[in-house]
Structure 1
Amino acid sequence: MDWFKLSLQLNKFPINRAQKALEEIQEIPEKQYETYLLEKRKEIVEYHLKNNRFYKDFFGKSNFTTWSEVPVMTKPDLQQKLENRLSKGFTKSTAYIGKTSGSSGTPFIFAKDKFAHALSWAGFHERYQWFGIDLNKSLQARFYGIPLDLYGNIQERIKDRISLRRRFPIFDLSEEKMEKFLKRFQRSDFSYINGYTSAVLLFAKFLASKNLILKEVCPNLKLCIVTSERLFKKDKELMQTVFGVPVVNEYGASEVGLIAFENPKNEWIINSEDLFLEILDKNNQAVPYGTEGRIVITSLYNKAHPMIRYDIGDSGILSSKSTAKTPILEKLIGRTNDIAKLPEGKVVPGLTFYYVTKSIIEDTGSIKEFIVNQNAPDSFKIEYVSKENFSKNQEQKILQAIETYVGKNLKVTFERKDTLKRSKSGKLKQFTSDL
């Protein structure tokens, strides 16, 4: 039975029509692809100007003339009642309704028309097949959070069962729980892993401590997909070694669907079929390939709710090898609000602090996880999970690296914990700032 199709059809998502539409889009020649994107952008703007009062007011006028005049939309712009943002002819019962994770600190409820949602899933299905994963038949080991209330928990588990997913809840990642995870792999024919990077990495480190190769335990395993959090090169190498299968990056967001997926050549191929992705500077102007900027996305088929020139809150770089039909995300740098503001006005990406600290901490070999929090302009706290406290020598090495790469005269404290605080969804935010 085609479980993937069945799960969507039960919710009245037209997956057959979406898959056919996706094939037709992919058949458009490269020379004509820019024209396709221009037409779809114009079409979706004009549709919402005609059918969406919220968007018409937001746009500021009734007619579309040039793309550069289309205003950029931010998350706070969408933090108002969904009823005010739905297009004519759509209701909460006739559209797909979702909520963003809130990892950016700015959650909101959104809507997608059912064809647009089905088209997103058709894209996921097609990309997974690059690695021999068939969503209709392949069993997924899902390292995610899960609603803890009774109704939400039951509802999610039913969805998992229909969608060939088996949940590995990540709110408890103790060694005892990891042992139970391992036993599930020993007795199940999982085809692939899908989950938050930090949780999957912790499982990989557990396997490494046991000198185990997961594919030898679970021979049907073909792939590991990580999402929602940064994947570092060394961590990827560790995962591939202990899992015995390729590890690929998936970049997506609930409000727009699949954004980019890593192909077998280790290139992040951007979804150009139902999305249009731009890299913009602070003045909302497109930057050249190879230049860092804000990631701004247009959903070309969502008629239920405008997602047009939507600033998703991430920054990245497009590869110089990109074309209109095959744009390549050279680098996903991280959330634009993940920055450390130091005394005297200096600003550095929070990830810089994390990179430096990570490289030193990994030398100990005993650190499972850690996060960095800025609680004052000159003050940082490093929380970590380990069987033992850092030695004075280890702390000194970290402080020296921070002084070299981040800044001088910074106060850094260390706190060992049994577990680290995760968001309600189960994500581990690697750098946070209280400022």
Structure 2
Amino acid sequence: MFVNCFANESIENSVNRFKKILRLKGFPIDQAQKELDVILNRSEGDFQNFNEKRRQSILDFHLKNNSNYSQFTSKTHYNTWDEIPVMTKADLQKPLKDRLSKRYKTSKVFVNKTSGSSGHPFIFAKDKYAHALTWAHIIWLYQQHGIDMNSYFEARFYGIPKDAVGYRKERLKDFLANRHRFDIFDLSQSNLHKFLELFKEKSFDYINGYTSSIVLFAKFLKEQNVILKVVCPTLKICITTSEMLFEDDRQLLENQLGLKIVNEYGASELDVIAFENEKGEWQLNNKTLYVEVVDDHGFALPHGQEGDIVITSLYNKAHPFIRYQIGDRGIIDENSTVQKPILKSLTGRTNDFAILPSGKKVPALSFYYVTKSVIEDSGLVKEIKIIQKELSKFTIQYKAESELDQIQKQKITTAVETYLEKGLEITFERKNELDRSESGKLKQFTSQLDG
């Protein structure tokens, strides 16, 4: 919601705080918003032509201006889009300066690094206009759900650097962006009580953060018999991101937060990839990205078929992300149109499979989901993660106030054998806190098999 244009100057300055920060950092947000408006106002008939031209334009630019990309492709012309080779994160494991396009320097672009949740962390860059367009798009997406990033106060469930300089820098950014960060590296009962007290004291407008951390907080609220909206009535909505949101977890969040839940799928090196619209559909970003689902040979699959998700960043001239395999698998809905593509489902990460002694290969989320559905029936367990130690040996780490008893453990082992395979050795480890990545994400499955 925007403040009336006749409001006094101090209120106007507060409302425009977020945009002012972007301008001060050299990101042309006003120009980017004008371009986004043009994209949004294109007709259905014109959109496909615009999309094809934009794809061809960014491809031609990098073939001519990025020596690393031209070496990667080894060709200067392609007859069809499917012929263009798929990039992986492993292809980008080299110094950033060697990956930048002509006339772009690390000091003049936006530089960041991925979380490494796929197993291949790397530093990436965006030119300032492309990054401004990313933010213009995010601002617009949030507006569709009534969130004004220029004035709303955000409760942020994210990780935070532990070194003194990084910590202070992140806290300053949070202050300037009008948000309070809840440190998800400490999700102990005492700290969750502190979280709740902050919600009672501060007038937060929305929650945004990693799914697993917000779900854990919701379980704590259930134990306390608290609905968050009651103690913090200014709250309007909750956005979950970066991790799988299961339907039972969504229901828990809706019940205990008392808020509408909007699920986001994105990648720091790109943009928001898909965002739930008002109808609850996961609408794909076709404004700044081109999203495809492809087979093992890089050919685009018909809508409705599962494959690898590959993405082209349509505006980033500093660094090429063209037919870039993000590491996830998914399905584009059969009813998608060029102007309104819908992501039907995410089916897991390409590198997250459990290999069983029989040779059977199962998506890790299947293993996790079977275990989760049983282990949480106890009411004791707050979080779990699965570690495959050997072909037949799996460890289930869980956060709980007390140990699971033998009956509960046997019930879980039986469920795993029923849905996956008999003869698996399951061990259990109760932990006070589960290990998270540097960014704060909870990796639900890890394989320690060599190769």
TM range (shorter): over 0.9
Structure 2 residue corresponding to 1:32, chosen from 46, 53, 62: 46
Structure 2 spans left out of the alignment, 5+ residues: 1-12
Using the TM superposition, name which of 57-66 and 251-260 deviates more: 57-66
Note if 1:138 corresponds to 2:138: no
Residue 185 (structure 1) aligns with: 199
2:221 counterpart SS class: helix
What do residues 397-429 of structure 1 show as CA deviations (whole Å, max 9, x unaligned)? 111111111111111011111111111111111
Question: In the alignment, is the contact (CA less than 8 A) between 1:261 and 1:269 conserved in 2?
Answer: yes
Length-normalised TM-score, structure 2? 0.95
- Give the equivalent residue in structure 2 for 1:209: 223
Task: Tell whether 2:134 aligns with 1:120.
Answer: yes
In the alignment, the residues of structure 2 paired with residue 264 and residue 390 of structure 1 have an alpha-carbon distance, to the nearest angstrom, of 41
2:310 is the alignment partner of 1:296: yes
2:319 is the alignment partner of 1:285: no
* Candidates 106, 129, 134, aligned match of 2:143: 129
**Alpha-carbon distance in 2 for matches of 1:343, 1:171:** 35
Aligned equivalents of 1:7, 1:291: Cα separation in 2: 42
Q: Secondary structure at 1:225's aligned position in 2?
A: strand
| Counterpart among 248, 251, 265 of residue 262 in structure 2 | 248
Establish whether residue 424 from structure 1 lines up as the match of residue 438 from structure 2. Answer: yes
Deviation at 1:274, TM superposition (A): 0.7
Q: Which residue of 2 aligns with 1:89?
A: 103
Q: Distance in 2 between matches of 1:170 and 1:108?
A: 23
| Native 8 Å contact 1:383 1:415 kept in 2 | yes
- 8 Å contact kept, 1:45–1:64: no
Q: Which residue of 1 aligns with 2:89?
A: 75
SS in 2 for 1:421: coil
Give the CA deviation at 1:329. 0.5
Q: Confirm or deny: 8 A CA contact 2:267 2:273 kept in the other structure.
A: yes
The separation in 2 between residues aligned to 1:124 and 1:336, in whole angstroms, is 27
One-letter amino acid matched to 1:329:
L
2:60 is aligned with 1:60: no
1:263-315: CA deviation from partner (whole Å, max 9, x where unpaired) = 12111011100100000011111111111110000000000010000000001
Q: Aligned partners of 1:93 and 1:419: how far apart in 2?
A: 39
Please give the secondary structure, in 2, of the residue aligned with 1:314. strand
**Offset of 1:158 from its aligned partner?**
1.1
- Normalised by the size of structure 1, how large is the TM-score? 0.99
Match of 1:273 in 2: 287
Q: Distance in 2 between matches of 1:138 and 1:192?
A: 7
* Residue pair 1:316, 1:329 contacting (<8 A) in 2 also: yes
Q: 1:251, 1:68 → 2: CA distance?
A: 24
Q: Is the 8 A contact 2:331 2:343 kept in 1?
A: yes
Q: Counterparts in 2 of 1:6-405, with a 5 A limit?
A: 6-405=20-419
Conserved? CA contact 1:131–1:222, under 8 Å: no
CA RMSD of aligned residues (A): 0.9
Mark the runs of 5 or more structure 1 residues left unpaired by the alignment.
Answer: none
- Match among 407, 422, 429 for residue 421 of structure 2: 407
Match of 1:242, SS state, is: helix
Query: What amino acid sits opposite 2:93 in the alignment?
Result: Q
Partner Cα separation in structure 2 for residue 387 and residue 85 of structure 1: 48
CA displacement 1:28-79 (0-9 Å, x = unmatched): 1111211111111110010011111111111102234321221100001000
Q: Distance in 2 between matches of 1:325 and 1:111?
A: 28
Counterpart CA distance in 2 for 1:392 and 1:60 is 59
**Counterparts of 1:284 and 1:68, CA distance in 2:** 6
What is the match of residue 5 of structure 2?
A: none
Amino acid paired to 1:92: T
Give per-residue Cα distances to partners, 1:324-379, cap 9 Å, x unaligned: 11110110112111100111321000111111111111211111111111010111
Is contact 1:46–1:64 with CA below 8 Å preserved after alignment? Answer: no
- Aligned equivalents of 1:108 and 1:185: distance in 2? 35
Give per-residue Cα distances to partners, 1:253-272, cap 9 Å, x unaligned: 11001111111211101110
**Distance in 2 (alpha carbons) for counterparts of 1:323 and 1:307:** 23
Mean CA deviation greater in 402-411 or 64-73: 64-73
2:376 touches 2:382 (CA, 8 Å); kept in 1? no
Say if 2:383 and 2:399, in contact at 8 Å, map to a contact too: yes
Q: For residues 254 and 97 of structure 2, what CA distance do their matches in structure 1 show? A: 46
Q: Is the 8 A contact 1:343 1:377 kept in 2?
A: yes
Measure, in 1, the Cα distance between the counterparts of 2:239 and 2:338: 26
SS at match of 2:292: strand
State the distance in 2 between where 1:333 and 1:119 align: 29
Q: Does 1:434 align with 2:448?
A: yes
The one-letter code sitting in structure 2 at the alignment partner of 1:126 is W
**Which residue does 2:3 correspond to in 1?**
none
Contact 2:115 2:437 in 1 (8 A): no
